[in-house]
């Protein structure tokens, strides 16, 4: 078994989350209003395309452990990187919704595989004292991808939607090449007994899944809400997306710091309570001060709850933490897929982003009710 430097493995892991989630998934959000304006898609179709990407992510998260065991972690991760890059390139070819659906679905599958497998691969290569830092850096890759897409996508859109997709594919290729020989050749985590979804485990998984409904309103619709819903254009939508990415980047470290001081359960409950702020603000206020607060707090709580779910899994059952984490990831992806389709339908029926954020607020309230204990 060959284990490269843990620093090299961390670089590969950041590349994986940056491409597989930060760019593959979230660069689509600032692209969405531009695709609608360019008549590639209607608003409802654009929301549906985002939802099928969530569906692919669910599939990828569910099959990731099997893919890791069948192919090996290193080949599975390399395949995920290459697959996400190819799908970005294929989306540059203009076509109807049915042309784009399979590529956004497959891209989501690649992203789910990368998100689930990158952590175990990097942590296997890192010394025990560095595993917390390694995990934090992995989650930061998502935020960095969001922030990069917020800056890069508006500039690229001056050359057209197709050129923007091609540029994202080139970025994906560079990340794939950078990570290719840095993945550690380590065995995948062993197949353990699946934890029963009752008691603290069931509440954690259910609350985390419900919290994703509130996050989905931002992850799929936030730039479009600012750009088209408020009529402020794609540049301002990208600024709102940049602020959201900043929140995603600092969220895991901030919430982890809180958990170190008051415990994972109390930190989890407090973060669920704070999530009500970004869930409700778009329904009440639309000044830029409040939009900025909503964007940053929305990013902090979305990413913070991800890190806190892993912390809580270790508090509940350290020997089954990896299995609880996989169940939580699948629950998040399933709720995100379902709410993504419902939000797309609600927007198509009403033509209003208020319906989208109302659904998100319901998810945030239910998550708090379930996860406060």
Give the span between the Cα atoms of 32 and 157, in whole angstroms: 11
In DSSP notation, 331-356 reads HHHHHHHHHHHHHHHHHHHH--HHHH
pLDDT single digits (tens) 269-302: 999 999 999 999 999 988 899 999 999 999 999 9
**128 pLDDT above the threshold of 60:** yes
Structure token pair of residue 69: 């065991």
Give the span between the Cα atoms of 261 and 244, in whole angstroms: 26
Task: With cut-offs at 50, 70 and 90, classify the pLDDT of residue 177.
Answer: very high
Q: Which helix (H) or strand (E) holds 220?
A: helix 199-224
Residue 349 CB-density burial (10 A; 0-12 exposed, 13-18 middle, 19+ buried) = exposed
Task: Tell me, rounded to whole angstroms, the distance of Cα 147 from its chain centroid.
Answer: 13
pLDDT value at position 119? Answer: 76
Domains and CATH numbers, the chain: 1-191 (1.20.1250.20), 197-373 (1.20.1250.20)
pLDDT value at position 192? Answer: 60
Give the span between the Cα atoms of 54 and 216, in whole angstroms: 9
Q: DSSP assignment, residue 22?
A: I
Residue 90 vs residue 313, higher pLDDT: 90
Task: Tell me what the pLDDT averaged over the chain comes to.
Answer: 87
The answer to whether 243 and 49 are in contact (CB under 8 A) is no
Residue 7 vs residue 211, higher pLDDT: 211
Structure token pair of residue 5: 């430097």
Rounded alpha-carbon distances, angstroms, from residue 241 to 33, 40, 172, 292: 13, 22, 20, 10
Average pLDDT over residues 230-237: 86
pLDDT single digits (tens) 50-74: 888 988 988 998 898 889 889 988 9
pLDDT value at position 276? Answer: 97
Phi, psi values for residue 17, rounded to 5°: -75, -30
pLDDT value at position 362? Answer: 97
Average pLDDT over residues 119-138: 69
**3 pLDDT above the threshold of 70:** no
Nearest Cα neighbor of 19 from 180, 256, 231 is 180
Give the span between the Cα atoms of 66 and 76, in whole angstroms: 10
Residue 250 CB-density burial (10 A; 0-12 exposed, 13-18 middle, 19+ buried) = middle
Gyration radius from the chain CA atoms = 19
Minimum mean pLDDT among 266-270, 298-302, 312-316, 330-334: which range? 312-316
pLDDT value at position 26? Answer: 81
């Amino acid at each position: 078994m060959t284990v490269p430097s843990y620093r090299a493995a961390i670089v590969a892991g950041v590349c994986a989350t940056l491409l597989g989630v930060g760019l593959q998934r979230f660069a689509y959000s600032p692209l969405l209003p531009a695709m609608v304006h360019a008549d590639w898609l209607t608003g409802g179709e654009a929301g549906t395309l985002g939802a099928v990407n969530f569906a692919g992510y669910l599939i990828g998260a569910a099959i990731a452990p099997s893919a890791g065991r069948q192919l090996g972690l290193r080949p599975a991760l390399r395949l995920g990187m290459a697959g996400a890059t190819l799908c970005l390139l294929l989306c540059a070819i203009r076509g109807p919704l049915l042309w784009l659906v399979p590529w956004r679905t497959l891209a989501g599958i690649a992203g789910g595989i990368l998100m689930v497998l990158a952590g175990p691969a990097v942590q296997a290569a890192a010394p025990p004292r560095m595993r917390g830092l390694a995990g934090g850096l992995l989650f930061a890759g998502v935020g960095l991808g969001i922030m990069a897409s917020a800056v890069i996508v508006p500039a690229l859109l001056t050359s057209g939607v197709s050129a923007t997709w091609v540029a994202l594919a080139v970025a994906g290729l560079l990340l794939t090449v950078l990570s290719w020989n840095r993945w550690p050749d380590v065995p995948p985590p062993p197949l353990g007994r699946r934890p029963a979804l009752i008691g603290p485990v069931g509440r954690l998984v259910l609350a985390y899944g419900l919290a994703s409904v509130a996050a989905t309103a931002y992850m799929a619709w936030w730039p479009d809400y600012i750009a088209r819903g408020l009529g402020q254009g794609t540049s301002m939508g990208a600024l709102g997306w940049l602020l959201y990415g900043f929140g995603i980047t600092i969220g895991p470290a901030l919430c982890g710091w809180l958990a170190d001081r008051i415990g994972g359960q109390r930190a989890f409950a407090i973060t669920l309570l704070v999530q009500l702020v970004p869930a409700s603000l778009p329904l009440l206020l639309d000044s830029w001060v409040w939009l900025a607060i909503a964007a940053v707090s929305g990013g902090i709580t979305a990413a913070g709850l991800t890190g806190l779910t892993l912390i809580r899994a270790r508090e509940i059952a350290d020997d089954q933490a990896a299995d609880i984490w996989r169940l939580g990831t699948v629950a998040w992806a399933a709720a995100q897929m379902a709410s993504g389709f419902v939000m797309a339908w609600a927007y198509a029926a009403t033509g209003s982003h208020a319906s989208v954020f109302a659904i998100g607020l319901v998810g945030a309230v239910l998550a708090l009710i379930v996860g406060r204990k």
